[in-house]
Chain A
Amino acid sequence: MASSKLPWLNPAIAVGGLAPLLQLAVLGAQGELGANGIEFALNQTGLFALAVLIASLACTPVRLVTGWTWPARIRRTLGLLAFTYAAAHFLTYSVLDQGLDVRAMAEDVFTRPFITVGFTALMLLVPLAVTSTNKWVRRLGFPRWQRLHRLAYVAAVLGVVHFVWRVKKDVTEPVLYGAVLAVLLAVRVGEAVRKRRALATQRPA
């Protein structure tokens, strides 16, 4: 009999999700990431951050559409995984790519919209990672916590914009991520509208 608690689920997502980061680190240390390993590491960590962030935002829509409850259990793990990749992406940029040249990075962040939106997305994820514990949910109260964590949508939209501006010409891939995000947002908006209507019809005329 399968346990209804799915004890393996979150550890599996954490281990599977971190495996590519570990592989990157090992190959990078061996100098096996190709001619421009730093660019490769930047591209991979950025892509994984966005993909996992969108996956975390898919949990609620998937639950709404299918009625399954397990997506709700993995949302936090996916969110933290996305933050991990976003942080690895930023560390690759700041330490390996820019050599911690604060002036060059400040110029990037403040004068280049492409970097500005990426950096803003990361900054938005920080409070979400910090308040990811049960203790913080209690401390903030669920409604406030939930409102705060809607910032994840803003971060994902900024992530897609960052990706669109990153590519030199072919925007197919970032647009695909944007389309998935739009569908996820549409499911939630549809649900919100449905709830409001249901509430309205309950009221006496």
Chain B
Amino acid sequence: MRDKLPPEPPGSEVTPEKLYLRRREFIKNAGLFAGTAAVVGGGLYLLGMKRTRPMDGFVPDAGTVAQPVAPAQGVFVTDEPRTPYEDITTYNNFYEFGLDKNDPARRAHTLKTRPWTVVIDGEVHKPWTVDVDQLISAFPLEERVYRMRCVEAWSMVIPWLGLPLGKLLDRVQPTSFAKYVAFTTLEDPEQMPGQKSPVLDWPYVEGLRLDEAQHPLTLLATGLYGKQLPPQNGAPLRLVVPWKYGFKGIKSIVRITLTREQPPTTWNLANKREYGFYANVNPAVDHPRWSQASERRIGEGARRPTLPFNGYADAVAGLYRGMDLKRDF
């Protein structure tokens, strides 16, 4: 018979039963350990996901626009280091696309910025309903490098392209009754999914006093870094008022109305105590929940002191002569 069992393994190679059982238990415990650790870590990770997270390198490729006319100098162009394009276009407050800073960059592609009509009406002699490209081509574009200070105490330096709002107002000829300028954003929850949530009163509205609107620093921006404005930054047309907190810079404007009365403004409606109509950058007037005395420039570690009127005091302080900016904040 060739029916032979394989040779017995030598005793030295046999794992004692006790050890063998412990080994199984060890493997089982190791598995349970790894599984539980993964569940706990993964659970925390998921909880934290919704919070502002870095973008995965998403940078929209907006076409380069024609070079602006002779770049402005002096107060219109700060020589401070510019904030990188990627940070400007991925760290945004634009609640129409979500509450987290990275939501607009992820979601604003649903905004159809062409064709786009802007209505300019109210207390003007020549109301104008105009296609945005026609509006933009009616004025020479200028590059302005402005500091931008958010009410949340961070700041950027942004090279905008745009046209001074004053030039547009000259064209529509304000009547002698015009005292304020009211701005309105698009209202369309299909294009702006954040408007499906009642977190703010939609559409977003903002306003300026007429003399603020006519100030040469006040810009209607159409681009940044020499490119067309990406939707998350308020394409096709947004307001930039560099001496005021960022929330005054209403995005994706569809209507500009000159009025006799001070218009309502969105954050003031949402919380009168925390967000005033003027919203001038003022290190001496704190936000009720945090200090405004200092700010963090995006890309820098240490905070820097905040300047009155965001460093534009020489140019704009005269607009507020005789006013108590602690009361009219």
Residues of A within 8 A of B (CB): 1-3, 6-9, 11-13, 15-17, 19-20, 27, 32-40, 43-44, 47-48, 51-52, 96-99, 101, 104, 107-108, 112-115, 165-166, 168-170, 173
Contact = CB atoms under 8 A, between A and B. Distances in A.
A3 B25 CA distance: 8
Interface in B1-49: 25, 28-30, 32-42, 44-45, 47-48
Given A17-B44, A40-B53, 7 more contacts: A12-B37, A13-B40, A16-B37, A34-B91, A39-B52, A47-B51, A173-B50
Interface stretch (B184-192, B219-227, B291-299): B291-299
Contacts of A96: 301
A16 B39 contact: yes
Contacts of A40: 51-54
Nearest to A78: B40
A5 to B, nearest CB: 10
Contacts of B40: 12-13, 16-17
Contacts of B42: 16
A20 B44 contact: yes
A24 to B, nearest CB: 9
Given A35-B87, A35-B90, A13 B102 contact: no
Nearest to B93: A168
A4 B36 CA distance: 16
A12 B54 contact: no
A43 B54 CA distance: 13
Interface in B90-149: 90-91, 95, 99, 101-102
A118 B302 CA distance: 22
23 contacts: A3-B25, A9-B32, A11-B33, A11-B37, A15-B33, A20-B48, A27-B54, A34-B54, A35-B298, A36-B52, A38-B296, A39-B52, A40-B52, A43-B48, A43-B51, A44-B51, A48-B48, A97-B303, A104-B294, A112-B289, A112-B290, A113-B289, A173-B50
A38 B302 CA distance: 10
Contacts of B152: 168
Top 5 nearest A-B pairs by Cβ distance?
A: A16-B40, A34-B54, A35-B91, A16-B37, A8-B33
Chain B contact patch, size range = 35 or more
A34 B90 contact: yes
A13 B36 contact: yes
A169 B95 contact: yes
B205 to A, nearest CB: 16
B51 A15 contact: no
Most chain B beta-carbon contacts within 10 A, residue among A9, A33, A44, A115: A44
A98 B25 CA distance: 50
A180 B23 CA distance: 41
B199 interface: yes
Contacts of A3: 25, 29
Contact of A15 (B28, B37, B50, B290): B37
A78 B25 CA distance: 25
Contacts of A6: 32
A147 B199 CA distance: 41
B41 A16 contact: yes
A98 B303 contact: yes
B55 interface: yes
Nearest to A23: B45
A48 B33 contact: no
A139 to B, nearest CB: 31
Contacts of A13: 36-37, 40
A165 B290 CA distance: 11
Contact of B91 (A17, A36, A52, A99): A36
B312 to A, nearest CB: 23
Given A169-B200, A170-B199, A7 B90 contact: no
B197 interface: yes
A1 B41 contact: no
A83 B172 CA distance: 61
Nearest to B98: A170
Nearest to A48: B44
